[in-house]
Amino acid sequence: MGKIIFILGGARSGKSTYALELAKKHKKVVFIATCQALDKEMAERIKLHKKIRPQGWQTFEEPYKVADLLDKFKVKFPVVLMDCLTLLVSNLMLKGLKEETIVNEVNNILAVLKKINGKAIIVSNEVGLGIVPNTKLGRDFRDIAGKVNQLVAGKSDEVFFMVSGIPTKIKG
């Protein structure tokens, strides 16, 4: 049965760095990147993120169907690192998918990860500590991201909350 580690925190809190540190303890890692380069600045960020990953890792860029991707190669790696859940939610929302479909995708991801014989690390942004967004899309995003964060935290074996680069274990 797979072990799920969930790492969340605010923007620039050190989530991805901590996730990489945990994963680097293993030689064989699958890295699932959900980010899309929709502009030049994001393309540069993606390029920098790729440079800091160990070369032996297998990277998949999948902005929508993470559960299908995981199921396809039946994860024969000791570690799967997905960065990040909130970008996946954003991608699915901008594709026009509704909350129920997004929650189903996340449930499917968790179901596949629980079946693997290894460890999964999922990174996400905590979106509930700021102001209420002033647009419906922003509020919908916050609500759906909060819901899937609760879902993943509930099914994770360990949960860490990052503050200024410091991981605080809040579950497990």
% of the chain exceeding 70 in pLDDT:
98
pLDDT category of residue 74 using cuts at 50, 70 and 90: low
Range of the domain at 95: 3-171
Catalytic residue among 49, 53, 114, 155: 49
The whole-angstrom separation of Cα 158 and Cα 172 is: 4
- The phi, psi pair for 84, rounded to 5°, reads -145, 160
- The phi, psi pair for 116, rounded to 5°, reads -75, 155
> What pLDDT, on a 0 to 100 scale, did the predictor assign at position 101?
97
- Domain with residue 89: its CATH number is 3.40.50.300
The whole-angstrom separation of Cα 137 and Cα 58 is: 34
- The count of domains in the chain is 1
- The phi, psi pair for 162, rounded to 5°, reads -95, 135
Strands 29-33 and 58-61 come out as parallel
Its pTM stands at 0.93
- Asked if 49 is an active-site residue, the reply is yes
pLDDT digits (tens, 9 = 90+) for 133-164: 999 999 999 999 999 999 999 999 999 999 99
pLDDT digits (tens, 9 = 90+) for 122-133: 999 999 898 899
